[in-house]
Structure 1
Amino acid sequence: MNYIDGFERTVRCYGGETALVTASGAERTYAELDRESTGLANAVHERIPERRCATLALNGIETVVSMLAGQKRGRGNVQLPYRAGVDELVRMVDDADVGALLFDDANADLALDVAERADLDLAIHAGDASLAGGRVVSYDEFVGAAATERVVERADTNEYGVFYTSGTTSRPKAVSFDQESMWLGATQVVMEMSLEPTDVALVTTPWYHMVTADAWILPHLLTGATLVIQPTFEPEEALELVAAHDVTGMLAVPTQLNVLADRQADLGLDIDTLDYIRTGGAVVSARLVERAAEHLTENVYNSYGMTEGGPNLAYAHPEVQDEHTGTVGKESYAWELRVVDSVPPDEDPDPEAVVEPGGTGEILARCDGMCDGYLNNPEAEEDLFVDGWLRTHDVADVDEDGYLYIVDRVDNMILSGGENVYPQEVEQTLLEHDEVEDVGVVGLDDEHWGEVVAAVVSTSGDIGADELDQFCVDHGSLANFKRPRRYVVTTDELPRTDTGTLERSTVEEKYFSAVRDGGTQAEGENTT
């Protein structure tokens, strides 16, 4: 079964019910959402029948429409991260053979820069600003002129779409999924969380993330629930939306949960309808669960996933949080997980070397809901699977009851505010500064963000933290959340092995131990 088959069943059953509500008050019923997505599918197919459409926009009605339209026309939508730099985005759209770019007012300048440099046939503007002309067309006019009752022609593919993520090379990789995988992922969420048509779910996390799409938007649309859409996360507005729309569920990363609990403690809004929260992407502490229970809801689901495997590999249901604090739970429906002896990233783990309860190792996973692979990247794809198992690169502890606890990334990924940051990408950017001789980047624990990016810069020149941060801003290829928040500038030669590998643990201990222990050793700090 394909996801779009499930959505069409929802339209038949709940066509007159509200599917989407935005923070500004715009609404769509399921029947209206169906017609609008069909119109976009037909309009795009008429202009670029053999190419994909990408979307660069904040959370909104048009982003959901584009997700459905890509499936209807058989050429999946490319979900672009609006926090990426223009250089990254141009590489993404060209790599995915994107012929049309749908964008909103908030991303207009960025989208027009991409359109100038990428191989696009047209740009579709969904917004109020006056931008029509040249290759730019109005979304309303573009969709309004197309047939909306049925898809006129469908490509001979089963694509859902393309998600982009950073990989071991520190360059974004295109992860492709088919519609059957997305249907299975959405169905897993419906089963794990017992979603109902009467649910009202708040969308606050960026739609382009796999977890927002396949663990939140698509499952709720599959059941006939209502989605309340916030363009970007703002805690007070999020709580007001919960109160105003009788929201029953929300998705929030741990950093957001902390802020929401703090704001609700101050505001005391009537959010009694809030029944469940799904979280993940960072450690869920006992204190966080307690604060969420006190100020938000007792029903917190901790979960584990990844772009290549989907967001639903494992679940920790609310009832296990007390005895297994911090766990991501056990394998989800239809998934098989193994924790095996860890090996370096450039070696293949043995799927048969399963660790005993109480042990630590790398998670391997398999399920029909796995990705189809990397788009146009066969070399990276060879490293993605081991004897039919998806390699996660995540290291986990397994307790005596079989619950999993994420320890670290095999390749030292930094998780800052739920976003993935790879040290090498930051290092490569800073090394382009004329005065920088060497760089070491590590992640430091942070109460607000989970982790923050910290950099040690070796130089014989006269540069400081402010200049380095401005260089990252001006560079254009480094997304804002990847910029270091703490710097140490030194004349020291950074510690490396005899093969040239940076000794990150030594860097962290030598230069940031005082910061880690509550001191102020870092020579310069970026707080923007």
Structure 2
Amino acid sequence: MNYLDGFERTVRCDGGDTAVVTADGAERTYDELDRESTAFANAVHERIPDARCGTLARNGVETIASMIAGQKRGRGTVQLPFRAGADELVRMLDDADADGILFDDANADLALDVVERAGLEFAVHAGDASLDDGRAVSYEEFVADAPADAVVERADTDEYGVFYTSGTTSRPKAVRFDQESMWLGATQVVMEMSIEPSDVALVTTPWYHMVTSDAWILPHLLTGATLVLQPTFEPDEALELVAAHDVTGMLAVPTQLDVLAERQAELDLDVETLDYIRTGGAVVSASLVERAAEHLTETVYNSYGMTEGGPNLAYAHPEVQDEHTGSVGRESYAWELRVVDSVPPDEDPNPDAIVGPGGTGEILARCEGMCDGYLNDPEAEDDLFVDGWLRTHDVADVDEGGYLYIVDRVDNMILSGGENVYPQEVEQVLLEHGSVNDVGVVGLDDDHWGEVVAAVVSANDDVAADDLDQFCVAHRSLANFKRPRQYVVTTDDLPRTDTGTLERATVKERFFSAVRDGGSRAEGENTT
């Protein structure tokens, strides 16, 4: 079965029910969304029958319609990240063999620049802004002039679309998925969270991420539930939408969950309908789960995944949080996971070198729904698999019950004095300090130790580096060699991706470039 079959079943059964609602009040029933996506598919097919179409827009009706339209064509939608620059977007469209683009008001200037540089066949503008240069046709006209009751013959690819990886350690890579994989992933999420037609789900993370698409939008459409679309995350508005629409579920990465709990504590809005929150993308601390339970809902699902794997590889039901706080759970329904001895990123791990309970190693995964590689990047594709297993590059601890706790990325490992240090382990300790809001740990080159551990701490209070160091000394779970030897204390927010992943290269460049270039030492050097 493929995802489009599932969506068409929803239209047959729940056609008159509300599929999507926007923050500004626009609505579509399932019947209306079906007709609109069909018309868009036909209109695109008439212009570029053998090419893909990209979408550069915030969360909205048009983005949802484009996701479905790509499947109806069999030439999947290219889900473009609107935070990318023009040069990068041109490369992405070229990698994905896309020859058209749909864009909204918020991305109009960027999109028109990309259209010119990429020499696209056409551009479609969804929004109210006045564009007088004639380079784009309005979405309403584009759809209105196309038949809405006849679907173009599907290509033999049965594509869902193209995603791009976050690009935190290298340039973003294009990942193609077919409709069967997306159906499997969406169905898995329906099972994990028992999603029902009566659910109302807030969409506040960017639609173009795998987690938002296959772990949130698609599962709810598959069951006939309602999506409430927030164009871009703003915490007060998100809470107001929960209250106004009786939202039952929300997807929020840890940084969002943190600020939502903080704002709800101050606003005290009526969010009692909020029955569950799905989170992931970064380590979820015990204190964050406690704050979410106090101010939002006690039902927090923690999950773990990667773009190349679909919606998620593992998940932790809320009931396991008491005894396994911070765990991402165990393998999800469609997956087989192994934790094996870690090796450097440029070496292949041995899939048979499985670590036992209490051990630490790299996660390998396999599933019928995982991707089959990257578009136009054979070198990266060769590094993605080992003996049929998807290599995640993520390191995890395994407890006696087989529950996984993400430690860090193999790529982030700091080698200091011959010892391995995983930055996220150090970050979780420092986050327990009462004055600390956020932490970024990196390795800095050192002539004696090879690398030394350095930490940037974002704090509201005036906390000294010596205080932070003494806190680490007193913390029983942190070995001495893992303690940061340099600190920078700042009131700035640390750079993170949409899904909450720390941008370590940016942290190192912004806060420690003076050290690297031979300048002054970072504030609070600790050499003990």
TM-score range, shorter chain: 0.7 to 0.9
Q: Which runs of 4+ in 1 moved over 6 A?
A: 413-416, 421-424, 440-443, 479-482
Residue of structure 1 in register with 2:273 after alignment: 273
User: For the Cα contact (< 8 Å) 2:176–2:375, is it kept in 1?
Assistant: yes
Question: Which residue does the alignment assign to 1:455?
Answer: none
Higher mean alpha-carbon deviation, 129-138 vs 268-277, is at 129-138
2:158 corresponds to 1:158: yes
- Secondary structure of residue in 1 paired with 2:308: coil
Counterpart residue number, 2:346: 346
How is 1:103-252 mapped onto 2 (pairs within 5 angstroms)? 103-131=103-131, 133-166=133-166, 170-252=170-252
| Structure 2 residue 87 is the aligned partner of structure 1 residue 87 | yes
Map of 1:19-58 to 2, 5 A cutoff? 19-58=19-58
1:219-267 Cα shifts (integer Å, max 9, x gaps): 0000000000000000110000000000000000111111111111111
State whether structure 2 residue 362 is matched by structure 1 residue 362. Answer: yes
The residue number in structure 2 matching 1:459 is none
What is the letter of the counterpart of residue 490 of structure 1?
A
Aligned twin of 1:330: 330
User: Is the contact between residue 57 and residue 106 of structure 1 (CA under 8 Å) also seen in structure 2?
Assistant: yes
Residue pair 1:52, 1:97 contacting (<8 A) in 2 also: yes
Correspondence 1:3 to 2:27: no
2-structure distance, mates of 1:482, 1:110? 25
Gap change, CA 1:331 and 1:131, over 3 Å in 2: same
Aligned AA (2:47)? R
Residue 67 of structure 1: aligned partner: 67
Q: What amino acid is aligned across from residue 173 of structure 2 in structure 1?
A: K
SS where residue 49 of structure 1 aligns? coil
Measure the CA separation in 2 of the matches of 1:133 and 1:85.
Answer: 22
Distance 1:242 1:57 in 2: 23
CA distance in 2: counterparts of 1:393 and 1:83, whole angstroms: 25
In the TM superposition, 1:381-400 aligns within 5 A as 381-400=381-400
Query: How far has the Cα of 1:211 moved from its partner?
Result: 0.2
CA distance 1:334–1:251, shift in 2 (3 Å): same
| Counterpart Cα distance in 2 of 1:239 and 1:95 | 38
Cα distance in 2 for residues equivalent to 1:101 and 1:328 = 37
Q: How far apart are residue 376 of structure 1 and its match?
A: 1.1
Secondary structure of 2:397's aligned partner:
strand
Q: Deviations over 1:335-381 (max 9, x none)?
A: 00000001111111110000000000000000011012101111111
CA separation in 2, counterparts of 1:161 and 1:422?
Answer: 35
Q: Note the aligned Cα RMSD (angstroms).
A: 3.1
Distance 1:220 1:422, change over 3 A: farther
* 2-structure distance, mates of 1:228, 1:38: 22
Q: Which residue of 2 aligns with 1:462?
A: none
Which moves more between the two structures, 86-95 or 51-60?
86-95
Unaligned runs of 5+ in 2: 414-422, 428-439, 444-451, 461-487, 496-501
Give the equivalent residue in structure 2 for 1:436. Answer: none
Three-state SS of the structure 2 residue aligned to 1:112 is: helix
Q: 1:111 to 1:483 in 2, by over 3 A?
A: farther
Amino acid at match of 1:323: E
For 1:441 and 1:355, locate their aligned partners in 2 and report how far apart those are by CA, in whole Å.
26
Q: How does 1:421-460 map onto structure 2 within 5 Å?
A: 444=456, 446=458
Return closer, same or farther for 1:140/1:367 CA change in 2, 3 Å cut-off: same
Residue matched to 2:285: 285
Distance (whole Å) between structure 1 residues aligned to residue 219 and residue 26 of structure 2 = 21
Change (3 A) 1:259 1:481: farther
Q: 1:147 to 1:309 in 2, by over 3 A?
A: same
- Assess if the C-alpha contact under 8 Å between 1:94 and 1:119 holds in 2: no
Q: Is the 8 A contact 2:314 2:330 kept in 1?
A: yes
Aligned 1:275-314 pairs, distance under 5 A: 275-314=275-314
Corresponding residue for residue 526 of structure 1: none
Structure 2 counterpart SS, 1:274: coil
- Inter-partner Cα distance in structure 2 for 1:422 and 1:72: 45
* Matches of 2:350 and 2:335, distance apart in 1: 19
Residue 490 of structure 1: how far off its partner (Å): 3.2
Q: Report what 2:253 is aligned to.
A: 253
- Displacement of 1:316 in angstroms is 0.5
Task: Give distance in 2, aligned partners of 1:102 and 1:487.
Answer: 38
Q: For residues 515 and 195 of structure 2, what CA distance do their matches in structure 1 show? A: 57
CA-to-aligned-CA distance 1:4-57 (integer Å, 9 cap, x gap) = 000000000000000000000000000000000001101001100111000000
Out of 161-170 and 221-230, give the one that drifted further.
161-170
Aligned partners of 1:98 and 1:119 also within 8 Å: no
Q: Which residue of 2 aligns with 1:18?
A: 18
Distance 1:111 1:422 in 2: 36
Q: Distance in 2 between matches of 1:129 and 1:483?
A: 34
Letter in 2 for 1:314: A
Give the drift of 1:154.
2.2
Aligned residue among 478, 490, 493 for 2:514: 490
Residues 435-466 of structure 1, C-alpha deviations (whole Å, 9 max, x = no match) = xxxxx998746579xxxxxxxxxxxxxxxx9x
Distance in 2 (alpha carbons) for counterparts of 1:220 and 1:492:
48
CA shift in 2, pair 1:48/1:210, >3 Å: same
Which stretches in structure 1 are left out of the alignment for 5+ residues? 425-439, 449-464, 473-478, 496-506, 518-528
Paired residues of 2:53 and 2:77 also in contact (CA < 8 A): yes
- Could you tell me which residue of structure 1 aligns to residue 418 of structure 2? none
CA distance in 1, matches of 2:273, 2:168: 42
Decide whether aligned partners of structure 1 residues 443 and 215 sit closer, same or farther in structure 2, where only a CA change above 3 A counts: farther
Distance in 2 between residues matched to 1:261 and 1:278, nearest whole Å: 14
Percentage of pairs with the same residue: 77
Q: Does the 8 Å contact 2:515/2:522 carry over to 1?
A: no
Worse-matched range after superposition: 281-290 or 228-237: 281-290
Instruction: Kindly provide the CA deviation profile for residues 487-519 of structure 1, in whole angstroms up to 9, marking residues without a partner as x.
Output: 245376679xxxxxxxxxxx9xx747659x9xx
| Cα pair distance change 1:399/1:300, threshold 3 Å | same
- Measured after TM superposition, the shift of residue 272 of structure 1 is 0.6
Letter in 1 for 2:514: T
Q: 1:441 to 1:164 in 2, by over 3 A?
A: farther
The 1-side partners of 2:457 and 2:281 are apart by 14
